[in-house]
Amino acid sequence: MAVGMKAVIDLGSNSVRLVVYQQGPHGTQHEVEDLKQTVRLSSHLTPKNKITDRGIALTVQVIHEFKRLCDAYGVTEVIGVATQAVRMAVNQAELLDRIRKETGIAFRVLSGAEEAYYGYLAVVNTVPLDEAVMVDVGGGSTEITYFRNRVMVQQISIPFGAVSLTRRFLRTDPPSQKDVNKLERAIRKQLDACEWLKGLRCPVVGVGGTARTIARIHQRRRHYPLGIIHGYEMWPTEVTAILDMLRSTPPEKRSEINGLSDDRADIIVAGAVMLDQVLQRVEASRLVISNKGLRDGILMEQILQHRGESVLSDMLGYSLENNLRRFQSSQRRSGHVWHLTQRLYAALVEQGWWTDDAEVWRWLRVAALLQDLGRAISIYNTSKHTFYLILQVSLFGISHRDRVLAAAIAAYKTSKRTQALLANYQEFLEEEDLLAISKAGVLLGLVRSLDRTGMGNVRDLHLIPAQGAWKLCLDVERPLGVELDASSKWLKKWRKVFQKEIRLEVNPHERAKDV
């Protein structure tokens, strides 16, 4: 898979979006640009489904502009896809020909099933759920997909989205109760067509602008301390509450709603009704937001091909790798710290001094691999920067709570400082967490100090239970210096946190020269 810049342009019924990805080796990638222009193509369809001349001209102009931007980024491959509005347009060919002629980009018109599939690919590889219903409320259509054991088993594309439903049903703004009732009935009728949806009682994953907007409004209202949308969870009743608030807010007041952008204010009610109806039909246990959708699914297809997997077997590992590359953090170095961390935790578990806990393993993995991320900001106050970055960067397969815990472990210095760092994140914490953070933080801190030079001088370690103090035997590459200096304060912290002394023993052949 080529290393370099790649772009996806998604010609939707509400907006045209451009995402530019920087691709690294092994299918790693990160977004460097995300631009949207609200063209409302579905509003430029005549009753006979012909895109007007103005609609064509506007669309071509936007794509032209995006193409120029791609050139400026040095993009070598632009993938163009079109969805519902183009799908149903009788003069589809005319539009696509003009685009190809003027920009050189050959757009592919996705079927509803393909659109659903790409959304599924994005979600199943970035949201850690084995079973869920996915719903993507677009401008002109809504894709609903059901996957179990991470395999897509059902899908339907409903030819109505936030823009078209608004145009068809909501004649006033705010809409009358009567119109909303009619809209709800129409959606229910559409949903009746998929018997499989009813009462699945699994989580629903919300994809696309409608779900993101509802989540953002919800986050702002409760002053959610993390700015992350991906993986955010809501109760279905909370969605209904926000819908009720939205439909009763007159348009001139709607711009004051924190989290709602101007270009979505007029279509959000219809979109929210759709989402709400799906949640009800599924009797969903919760709504999980995915920031990844169609565009990411298109790239993901290539990544999976390259990696020879049908779904990512380790989405967390993949996203950790993405971040190590993105922040030019040494994979060898962080991998070695993670290796030593595992060895030490496993030894403590084996000796019965710590319980074997999947959560702790996960936190330690993220913390150990990303422990050095903060150096990308500065080598001063690095642990503070690492804390910030672990809370902010794109990570898949872990919860927001996991992030907070992993960030605190990676940044651990003292329990007092940890409490200060976590002051705004109390809602994520449980009672025993502070002790777990201290133990894991000291463990990781000690291991990091043993690789302070990043040269892997400590090849391996093993813990030996002993009367009084534990012995930590180090298998070293060459005499230690900086490492011993750096580890001394962690040995003191160890005693405090584990209530047990630990002593380093360098293997006899390579003991530090006795000078």
Pick between residue 248 and residue 488 the one whose CB is nearest to a second copy.
488
H or E stretch covering 167: helix 162-169
Using rule CB under 8 A, residue 291 touches a second copy: yes
**Alpha-carbon span 313 to 307, nearest angstrom:** 10
Q: Which residue lies nearer to a second copy by CB, 199 or 227?
A: 227
State the pairing for strand pair 470-476/458-464: antiparallel
DSSP state of 202: S
Look up residue 268 and give its two tokens: 């959000």
Which H/E stretch holds residue 440?
helix 433-450
- Kindly state the DSSP code that residue 34 receives in the 8-state scheme: E
Q: How far is the CB of 486 from a second copy (least distance, A)?
A: 9
Q: Determine whether 367 is exposed, middle or buried from the number of CB atoms within 10 Å of its CB (0-12, 13-18, 19+).
A: buried
377 binds a second copy (CB under 8 A): yes
488 binds a second copy per the rule CB under 8 A = yes
* Local structure of 136: helix, strand or coil: strand
Of 159, 447, 132, the residue nearest 287 (C-alpha) = 132
Is residue 304 near a second copy by the rule CB under 8 A? no
In this complex, which beta carbon is closest to a second copy, that of residue 49 or of residue 61?
A: 61
Residue 493 interacts with a second copy (CB under 8 A): yes or no: no
Q: Which is nearer to a second copy, 212 or 247 (CB)?
A: 212
Q: Which residue has the tokens 């990091």?
A: 448
Cα distance between residue 278 and residue 379, in whole Å: 49
Q: Rule CB under 8 A: which of 27-66 touch a second copy?
A: 31-35, 37-38, 54, 57-58, 61-62, 65
Q: How far is the CB of 219 from a second copy (least distance, A)?
A: 11
Q: Does 68 bind a second copy (CB under 8 A)?
A: yes
Nearer to a second copy, 358 or 420 (CB): 420
The binding track of 83-122 with respect to a second copy, each residue x by CB under 8 A or -, is ----------------------------------------
The number of residues that bind a second copy (CB under 8 A) is: 49
Question: Where would I find the beta strands (DSSP E) of 142-295?
Answer: 142-148, 151-158, 204-207, 233-234, 287-290
Give the residue, chosen from 393, 408, 409, 476, that forms a contact with a second copy under the rule CB under 8 A: 393
Q: Look at the block and give the residue holding tokens 């012909």.
A: 50
* Positions in 414-433 near a second copy (CB under 8 A): 416
Q: Is the CB of 33 or the CB of 301 nearer to a second copy?
A: 33
In whole angstroms, how large is the CA radius of gyration of the chain?
A: 26
**Shorter beta-carbon distance to a second copy: residue 274 or 447:** 447
- Complex with a second copy: residue 189 or 513, whichever CB lies closer: 513
Of the candidates 485, 496, 500, 511, which one interacts with a second copy according to CB under 8 A? Answer: 485
Reference 203, options 228, 226, 232, 227; nearest CA is: 232
Which of these segments, 101-109, 116-124, 481-489, 494-502, binds a second copy (CB under 8 A)? 481-489
**111's tokens:** 């079927």
Using an 8 Å Cβ cutoff, are 292 and 212 in contact? no
Judged by CB under 8 A, the chain residues 222 through 241 that form the site for a second copy are 227, 229
Residue type, 453: T
E-state strands within 262-389? 287-290
Query: x/- site string to a second copy, residues 186 to 225, per CB under 8 A?
Result: ----------------------------------------
Q: Please give the torsion angle defined by the CA atoms of residues 65, 45, 105 and 98, in that order, rounded to the nearest 10 degrees.
A: -90
Least CB distance to a second copy at residue 64 (A): 8
Residue 498's contacts (CB-CB under 8 Å, 6 or more residues apart) are 353, 439, 442
Shortest gap between Cβ of 23 and a second copy (angstroms)? Answer: 15
How remote is the C-alpha of 174 from its chain's centroid?
33
Nearer to a second copy, 44 or 281 (CB): 44
* Chain contacts with a second copy (rule: CB under 8 A): 31-35, 37-38, 54, 57-58, 61-62, 65, 68-69, 72, 227, 229, 258, 262-263, 291, 375-381, 384-385, 388-389, 392-394, 416, 452-455, 479, 481-482, 485, 488-489, 513, 515
